[in-house]
């Protein structure tokens, strides 16, 4: 039983995990999936609004351009959000930054909800931009906050909640976007404004929870506040081992927060940085969004109609959730390294077989169904491996002084990757046809080799032990002892 705070319900780590998920990366998943269902209604609204203003009807290409801006401006906002989250999380703390971030979501939802009444599609563009900022901050901050709040033995399982929240948000977006629920012409503004609900829930519940213990001790030097936070989150006790590890890191790190330039130039974190770039920053190169893009055609070839396709998409969403939950149970048992290299191999094999089945699917009537099954297998391997593990690594690879900069770099690469893949893949698919997955296949094979031969295991290790395991990679000298003053 966790130690209760005076006058409020008992505070513990599972409840905080849920609260952060509801108002954090859950909204990111919502923002991604909610925009698909009302697309034809929003495009009709753009055309009608233009006609009422100027008395002319827009050309279809112009409508599509404005719709593309609505979709892509989300990535622009996300890029901005991940650039500022490092500074905000140090200046205001993890908790206050997350609270302020909900205000951005509420303003964006208000613009969405009132856009039809105001006859302004520009409000939708601005709302999507604010949603992007909210998602960019949440994607990094949720991982950082919950990772710093988790005890060493539960760090992997708790941090995987980030992937679970994203998958759940996507599934919720698919569900409420069904035409039987809110996916109608009358309700689309309320559908796009749905993110206000989780943002409001977090705003009223998060104030009851403590700040990150690691932030309180290492960044603020508040030992008593750190101990109180750990007792609230983990239960009564002195938590001497965790406190000692934090104090050791604080002594090594000092109070100076390092910037992006410091992170890129410091040789002592070179291989941590390489690992971050290859596994976390380049995660879009696995091809999960490209496979989703191709899924609609695959379903059609299997005889699934356009009206039935959204329900099959629900199955993909449920698969992603189940595998992420399974990853949460396995990550602290099997370790990060094993889950990565094994699932990278299965991802590569799945892409290989998928390329073959798509190339010869006209030869046999049952091959399109095999392709459908392969999409589900690909989703399973993604959630069980890199999709879940990549949420944990930035917290474990870097000490407190480097962590905000590491999250900023990861966020920028993820958002740029999302934008580039979304922009380029349709052209790649048109040029290469069924061979369009070859780039993703090469990446998965390369990462399987890298994870197996190079990546040290971080399971059940303190921050200083992890630094020791990377020390030989960074300096290539076993006899050269780790110099903590570098951090």
Question: Are 205 and 268 members of one domain?
Answer: no
Q: Are 5 and 236 in contact (CB under 8 A)?
A: no
Question: Are 438 and 371 members of one domain?
Answer: yes
Report pLDDT digits (tens) over 15-53: 888 888 887 788 888 888 788 778 889 999 999 999 999
The domain boundary, picked from 209, 234, 267, lies at 209
- State how far the Cα of 394 lies from the Cα of 373, in Å rounded to an integer: 32
**Does residue 432 lie within any of the structural domains?**
yes
Q: What is the mean pLDDT of the chain?
A: 84
**Does residue 239 lie within any of the structural domains?**
no
- State how far the Cα of 291 lies from the Cα of 268, in Å rounded to an integer: 37
Report pLDDT digits (tens) over 152-201: 777 777 888 888 888 888 888 888 888 888 888 889 999 999 999 999 99
**Does residue 463 lie within any of the structural domains?**
yes
Predicted pLDDT at 9: 41
Predicted pLDDT at 2: 41
Instruction: Quote the pTM value.
Output: 0.80
Mean pLDDT of 238-263: 75
Predicted pLDDT at 7: 37
- State how far the Cα of 56 lies from the Cα of 246, in Å rounded to an integer: 65
**Does residue 216 lie within any of the structural domains?**
no
Percent of the chain beyond pLDDT 90? 28
Question: Are 165 and 289 members of one domain?
Answer: no
Mean pLDDT of 56-64: 87
Question: Are 195 and 277 members of one domain?
Answer: no
Question: Are 290 and 197 members of one domain?
Answer: no
Q: How many structural domains are present in the chain?
A: 2
CATH number, domain with residue 374: 1.20.1250.20
Question: Are 204 and 260 members of one domain?
Answer: no
Question: Are 4 and 85 members of one domain?
Answer: yes
Predicted pLDDT at 296: 63
Predicted pLDDT at 246: 83
Percent of the chain beyond pLDDT 70? 90
**Does residue 237 lie within any of the structural domains?**
no
- State how far the Cα of 209 lies from the Cα of 106, in Å rounded to an integer: 21
Predicted pLDDT at 293: 63
The domain boundary, picked from 209, 227, 248, lies at 209
Report pLDDT digits (tens) over 411-451: 888 888 877 876 777 678 778 877 888 889 999 999 999 99
- State how far the Cα of 3 lies from the Cα of 404, in Å rounded to an integer: 30
**Does residue 244 lie within any of the structural domains?**
no
Highest-confidence segment of 227-231, 342-346, 381-385: 342-346
Predicted pLDDT at 46: 94
Q: Which domain holds residue 285?
A: 256-487
Question: Are 200 and 286 members of one domain?
Answer: no
The more confident residue out of 45 and 269 is: 45
Report pLDDT digits (tens) over 279-317: 988 888 998 877 776 666 667 666 676 666 667 777 877
**Does residue 281 lie within any of the structural domains?**
yes
């Amino acid at each position: 039983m966790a130690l209760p705070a005076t006058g409020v319900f008992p505070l513990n780590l599972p409840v905080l995990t849920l609260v952060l998920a509801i108002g954090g990366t859950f909204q990111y998943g919502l923002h991604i999936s909610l925009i698909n269902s009302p697309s034809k209604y929003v495009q009709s609204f753009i055309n009608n609004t233009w006609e009422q203003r100027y008395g002319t009807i827009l050309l279809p290409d112009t409508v599509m351009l404005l719709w593309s801006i609505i979709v892509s401006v989300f990535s622009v906002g996300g890029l901005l959000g991940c650039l500022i989250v490092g500074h905000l999380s140090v200046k205001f703390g993890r908790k206050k930054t997350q609270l302020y971030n909900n205000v951005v979501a509420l303003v964006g939802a208000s613009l969405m909800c009132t856009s039809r009444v105001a006859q302004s599609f520009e409000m939708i563009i601005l709302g999507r931009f604010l949603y992007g900022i909210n998602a960019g901050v949440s994607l990094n901050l949720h991982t950082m906050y919950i990772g710093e709040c988790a005890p060493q033995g539960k760090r992997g399982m708790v941090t995987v909640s980030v992937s679970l929240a994203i998958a759940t948000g996507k599934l919720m977006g698919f569900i409420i976007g069904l035409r039987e629920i809110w996916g109608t012409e009358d309700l689309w503004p309320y559908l796009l404004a749905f993110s206000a609900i989780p943002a409001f829930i977090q705003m009223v519940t998060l104030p009851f929870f403590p700040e990150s213990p690691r932030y309180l001790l290492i960044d603020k030097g508040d030992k008593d506040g750190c101990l109180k936070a750990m007792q609230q989150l983990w239960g009564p006790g002195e938590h001497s081992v965790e406190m000692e590890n934090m104090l050791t890191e604080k002594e090594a790190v000092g109070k100076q927060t390092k910037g992006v330039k410091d992170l890129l130039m410091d040789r002592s974190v070179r291989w941590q940085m390489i690992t971050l770039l290859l596994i976390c920053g380049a995660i879009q190169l696995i091809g999960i969004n490209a496979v989703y893009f191709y899924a609609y055609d695959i379903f059609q070839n299997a005889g699934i109609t356009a009206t039935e396709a959204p329900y099959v998409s629900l199955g993909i969403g449920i698969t992603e959730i189940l595998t992420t939950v399974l990853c949460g149970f396995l990550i602290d048992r099997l370790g990060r390294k094993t889950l990565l290299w094994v699932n990278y191999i299965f991802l590569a094999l799945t892409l290989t077989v998928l390329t073959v089945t798509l190339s010869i699917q006209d030869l046999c009537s049952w091959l399109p169904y095999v392709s459908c099954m392969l999409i589900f297998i690909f989703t399973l391997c993604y959630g069980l491996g890199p999709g879940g593990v990549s949420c944990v690594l930035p917290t474990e690879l870097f000490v407190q002084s480097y962590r905000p900069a590491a999250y900023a770099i990861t966020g920028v690469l993820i958002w740029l990757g999302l934008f580039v893949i979304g922009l380029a893949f349709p052209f790649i698919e048109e040029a290469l046809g069924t061979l369009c997955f070859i780039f993703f296949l090469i990446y998965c094979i390369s990462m399987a080799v890298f994870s197996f031969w190079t990546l040290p295991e971080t399971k059940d290790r303190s921050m200083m032990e992890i630094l020791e395991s990377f020390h030989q990679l960074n300096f290539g000298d076993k006899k050269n002892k780790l110099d903590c003053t570098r951090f």
